[in-house]
């Protein structure tokens, strides 16, 4: 399966999403010889110190300061904020689809303007597809839907089919800076562990052989057609990355508790506590979608 855009073929394997983000941040600083990193409000890139530093929610950062200097946030989707990306910016780190913000998707013209702005000022564009990658949104990478290519691509989660693995991916010219001054600019003991790598390869095979990515849109449509209830205020989704919005956390929390008791594993989003996460494995069948939705509706009704 051809999964990477031409040239974006140097893959550095690590053990998790946060660790992949850390590697990408280091790589951008080293390649550009700049240290300022821009991310988005309500972004989640992981819980390690570097990833937390570019996180977009103060509540989660407050207790851990001082964090990395030179970080700032722009509003996801704001065209006017693109002017804050300058010749001093090493990289912009952005989730293609914002996950923990409650499944938020900026428009194609925004991503294209962001790509143009980064190229104009020599800042690297780092796309975090840790949640959105590996087919979840209906294309192998979510960025394919916006017709842009990042300078550094970051993935994990679905990549391992349940095993711990992550990666940051760049052109050879960019990744090559880790090889000198000093040699071994980024190292990890277990990164690319053969068992995790085998699981990742098996995941790719299953995605391909079972044609799972092509079924994402249809499965998402089925979820949306079944999840109709007066208490569900809205459904936001990009493929099988879905959020059901309720009146408030106080309304949602007991529903989540009941859903879990009934056997549906779900939760709310870190920065959007009025919405329930729907993120099934891509292998879910239509019978299982019917069953899960019936249980979610039962949990909402409190029966």
Ligand X SMILES: Cc1ncc(COP(=O)(O)O)c(C=O)c1O
Distances (CA, A) of 53 to 131, 206, 224, 243: 19, 36, 36, 26
Least distance to ligand X, CB of residue 68, Å: 16
**CA-to-CA distance for 302 and 254, rounded, in angstroms?**
9
Least distance to ligand X, CB of residue 260, Å: 19
- Cβ(46)–Cβ(21) under 8 Å? yes
- Nearest CA-CA partner of 191 in 180, 182, 178, 181: 178
Q: Which is nearer to ligand X, 269 or 293 (CB)?
A: 269
- Residue 73 binding ligand X, by CB under 6 A: no
- Residue 130 binding ligand X, by CB under 6 A: yes
- Residue 158 binding ligand X, by CB under 6 A: no
Q: Which is nearer to ligand X, 100 or 232 (CB)?
A: 100
Start-to-end C-alpha separation, the chain: 46
- Residue 95 binding ligand X, by CB under 6 A: yes
Q: Which is nearer to ligand X, 131 or 215 (CB)?
A: 131
Stretch that binds ligand X, among 127-135, 173-181, 183-191, 231-239 (CB under 6 A): 127-135
**CA-to-CA distance for 269 and 256, rounded, in angstroms?**
12
Instruction: Output the residue with the shortest Cβ distance to ligand X.
Output: 17
Least distance to ligand X, CB of residue 22, Å: 9
Tell me which of 10, 18, 196, 215 binds ligand X, using CB under 6 A: 18
Q: Which is nearer to ligand X, 126 or 293 (CB)?
A: 126
If binding means CB under 6 A, how many residues of this protein chain bind ligand X?
Answer: 13
- E-strand stretches of the chain: 10-14, 36-40, 71-74, 89-95, 97-98, 104-105, 124-128, 152-155, 166-170, 234-238, 241-245, 268-269, 272-278
Stretch that binds ligand X, among 14-22, 72-80, 118-126, 282-290 (CB under 6 A): 14-22
Site string for ligand X, 21-60 (x = CB under 6 A): x----------------------xxx--------------
**CA-to-CA distance for 166 and 154, rounded, in angstroms?**
8
Which residues are near ligand X by CB under 6 A? 16-18, 21, 44-46, 95, 99, 128, 130-131, 156
């Amino acid at each position: 399966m051809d999964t990477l855009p031409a040239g974006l073929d140097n893959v550095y394997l690590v053990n998790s999403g946060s660790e992949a983000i850390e590697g990408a941040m280091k790589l951008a600083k080293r390649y550009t010889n700049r240290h300022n990193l821009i991310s988005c409000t309500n972004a989640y890139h992981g819980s390690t110190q570097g990833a937390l530093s570019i996180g977009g929610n103060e509540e989660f950062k407050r207790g851990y300061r001082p964090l990395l200097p030179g970080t700032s946030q722009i509003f996801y989707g704001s065209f006017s904020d693109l002017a804050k990306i300058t010749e001093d910016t090493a990289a912009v780190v952005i989730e293609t689809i914002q996950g923990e913000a409650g499944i938020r998707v900026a428009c194609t013209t925004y991503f294209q303007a962001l790509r143009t702005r980064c190229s104009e000022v020599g800042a690297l564009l780092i796309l975090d597809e840790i949640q959105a990658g590996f087919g979840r949104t209906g294309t192998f990478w979510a960025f394919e839907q916006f017709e842009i290519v990042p300078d550094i691509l970051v993935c994990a989660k679905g990549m391992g089919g349940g095993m711990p693995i992550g990666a940051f991916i760049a052109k050879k010219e960019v990744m090559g800076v880790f090889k000198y001054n000093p040699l071994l600019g980024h190292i990890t003991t277990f990164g690319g562990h053969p068992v995790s790598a085998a699981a990742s390869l098996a995941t790719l095979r299953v995605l391909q052989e079972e044609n799972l990515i092509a079924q994402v849109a249809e499965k998402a449509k089925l979820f949306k057609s079944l999840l109709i209830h007066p208490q569900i205020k809205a459904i936001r989704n990009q493929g099988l990355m879905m959020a059901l919005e309720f009146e408030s956390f106080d309304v949602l929390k007991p529903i989540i508790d009941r859903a879990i008791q009934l056997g549906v594993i779900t939760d709310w989003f870190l920065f959007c506590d009025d919405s329930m996460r729907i993120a099934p494995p891509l292998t879910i069948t239509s019978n299982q979608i019917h069953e899960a939705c019936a249980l979610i509706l039962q949990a909402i009704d409190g029966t």
